[in-house]
Every structure is written in structure tokens, then in C-alpha cells.
A and B are shown apart, each in its own frame.
Chain A
Amino acid sequence: MSEHGHSQPGHGSDATVHVVPFRILVTVWLALMVLTVVTVEVVYIDLGNLNLYLAMAIATVKGTLVALYFMHLRYDRPFHAIVFVTALVFVLLFVSLVLTDSGQYQPNIDLRQEQLLGK
């Protein structure tokens, strides 16, 4: 139960084991459930393009909660968080570059398709 796990049996004084308090686990679970309800309900409100961004923002908050508390990143060595965030940065780079690229040539594809269909 101790905040930094130093008193856990079987570990030296530099042990990095952290036991997440039960109260925090329950709070995170409840927060995740509330956010799930919010993300479902918000679909029924027309916000235009904002709907997608809002859904992704809520999912990101939920994902952050899972990573920080359920996956212990908040209490863990920073290196694991660095590894994780680096991967996410590369995912973002990957998706955004491909999106930019495909957005450039999509008009040509549409044009060609119209030509083929109009023949």
C-alpha cells in the first residue's frame, strides 16, 4: 500500500515496484465508464467535423488514463513512457504523411474514374 513500494517484502531498497492504491483503480475505472457514456451520447449531437475530433479527444483521454494508471506508467521508470510515446509519435507521423500524400493524388483518381465511367 505504501506510495512508493519501498516496503514491499522481497525487494531491495532500490526496488521500483509500485502498488497502485485500490481507490485510484476504482476512480480510473469509473472515469473510463463516464467517458464511454459521453462519447456514445455526443454522437447524437451534430457538431459537424468536431464530432470526429471530440471522439478522438475522448478516446485519447481514456487511453492516457489506462496507460498512466492501469499500465503504471505514472509510477514507472520514465524510459517505458519514452518508448511508448516515441511509438505513438511515429504512428502520428506515419498516418499524417500518408494522409497528406493520398490527399494530393485523390483528385486525379476521381477524375480518371469519372472518365472511365463516362465512356
Chain B
Amino acid sequence: MQQSHQQHGEHRSAHLAHQFDTLDQQYQSGKLGIWLFLVTEILLFAGLFCVYAVYRANHPDIFIYAHRFLNKNLGALNTAVLIFSSFTMAWAVRAAQLGKKRALVNLLAITLLCAFIFLGVKYVEYQNKWKEGLLWGTHYHPIEEAAPSGEAAPADSAEAHYTGPPNVQVFFGIYFLMTGLHALHIIAGMAIIGWVLVKARRGAFSPSYFYPVDYAGLYWHLVDLIWIFLFPLLYLIR
């Protein structure tokens, strides 16, 4: 339909930028741009995954000791929340493609709500680490109760109860760096989804112009994808 307009020299879609011939060409160009951006994101996180791999390969004992301080249940809960939000986002793209405005608005709102829940759980986790003194570098001062169960803690001096391997603070440095950068991406994703939600409420999208929803979805799925790897690497160590 769009093409026949072009061929007969009729009016162009208001969404079609002058440098493109068709909406589809514009859509595909934008999509390639998003994929290239996602590649830079993958390579950004690759640096952190590399740090993780090197440190774990050379000091497996630190990871086995320290991962027990992380709450598996909260990690699993957040994984479920993020996967569900990815599902509602994919569903939202479908609704946008089919021109179902009500469904699109609701699904985007649910996705945004899931992002809030994810950050809320993350906040609880970070707060617990803070209270237990399980932080990076020189801020690592584990309190007694923080010791994993099954390890007796003599209370003679501040350091006496410490039974773990040296340099455990590096694990928490890696933990905060990886989950922190991921959380920043969640916050950025919330801003993007929020913007798309506002536009969707105003009825800006139609089956011939749903690209922003699709692009936001691709980004959101990548954030989910990275978490899918972070969760077993940080929480599920044996």
C-alpha cells in the first residue's frame, strides 16, 4: 500500500523521513542500527564477563565461599520477574503490530511495573549487603552474623571470626559492578518503555508505524538476556 503511494507520487507517510523510499526500508535501517547498538552493549558487558572468568578460573575458592552470601531465592524471583517482563514486552510488540492500542498500553504498563519490582528486589539485596558490610575493596567489613551458617565464629576480636579465603572483597566488587551496570540498563530501559508508553497512550502507533515499540523491545530483551547469564554466574555457584 505504502509502495503504491510512492509509485504514484501521492503523499508520503508523516512517519517517513525524506532519505527513505518506503516505511519498510526505514524500519529495517532503524532495526539494523538498534542491533549494532546491542552489539556494543554485548561487548561492554563482555569486559566484565572477562574479569569474572579470569578471577573465577584463578580463585574458584573465593567464588564458592562468597556466593553463599547472595540470596538465591531473591535472585530467582528477579529472574522470573524479568523473564515475565520480556514476555509482556514481546506481546506488546505484537499488539502494536496488530494495532491493538488498549492491549499495547496495558502490556507496556505491566512491563514497566515488572522493571520496578526488579529494582525493588535489587534494592533489598543491596541493602542487606550494605548492612552486612559485604562491599567492594576496602569497604569489605563483614559483620559476624553475615558468616555463612555452619561456620563457628569465635568472638575474641573483630577479625578472629573470619574463616573465609583472602580477597573475598573482589567477588563483591565484581558482583556490584556487574549487577550495578545491569541495573543502570534496567533504569534506562524503564525510561525508554515509559516514553513509548506515553506515546502509545496518545495513539502514536499503528500497524504501519510501530517501530519504537519494536526497538525498545529489542533493547529490553537484551537486558533480560544478560541477566539470564548473570544469575547462574553470581548466585548459582557450586
Is B207's beta carbon under 8 Å from chain A? Answer: yes
Complex CA distance for A69 and B221, rounded to whole angstroms = 10
Is A14's beta carbon under 8 Å from chain B? Answer: yes
Q: What 0/1 pattern do residues 28 to 63 of A give for CB contact below 8 A with B?
A: 110011001001100100110001100110110011
Q: Which of B115-139 contact A (CB under 8 A)?
A: none
Q: A22-B91, A66-B224 are known contacts. Are A11 and B208 too (CB-CB below 8 A)? A: yes
CB-CB under 8 A from B72, the residues of chain A are 40, 43
Cβ of B46 and Cβ of A29 under 8 Å apart?
no
The CB with the most chain A CB atoms within 10 A, among B2, B32, B83, B208, is that of: B83
Cβ of B229 and Cβ of A87 under 8 Å apart?
no
Q: How many residues of A contact B (CB 8 A)?
A: 58
Classify the interface of chain A: helix, strand, loop or mixed.
Answer: helix
CB-CB under 8 A from B50, the residues of chain A are 94-95, 98
The total number of A-B Cβ pairs within 8 Å is 155
CB-CB under 8 A from B83, the residues of chain A are 29, 32-33, 36
Is A118's beta carbon under 8 Å from chain B? Answer: no
CB-CB under 8 A from B39, the residues of chain A are 83-84, 86-87
Complex CA distance for A96 and B92, rounded to whole angstroms = 38
Cβ of A58 and Cβ of B54 under 8 Å apart?
no
| Interface range, B side | 35 or more
CB-CB under 8 A from A79, the residues of chain B are 32
Chain A's nearest CB lies how many Å from the CB of B6? 9
Closest to A67 in B: B225
Is A99's beta carbon under 8 Å from chain B? Answer: yes
Q: What 0/1 pattern do residues 206 to 238 of B give for CB contact below 8 A with A?
A: 111100000001100110110011011100111
Cβ of A88 and Cβ of B42 under 8 Å apart?
yes
- Which residues does B use to contact A, with CB under 8 Å? 1-4, 22-24, 27-28, 31-32, 35-36, 38-39, 42-43, 46, 49-50, 53-54, 57-58, 72, 76, 79-80, 83-84, 86-87, 89-91, 93-94, 97-99, 206-209, 217-218, 221-222, 224-225, 228-229, 231-233, 236-238
Known contacts A47-B238, A63-B228, A66-B224; 5 additional CB pairs below 8 A are A10-B207, A14-B3, A17-B24, A20-B93, A90-B43
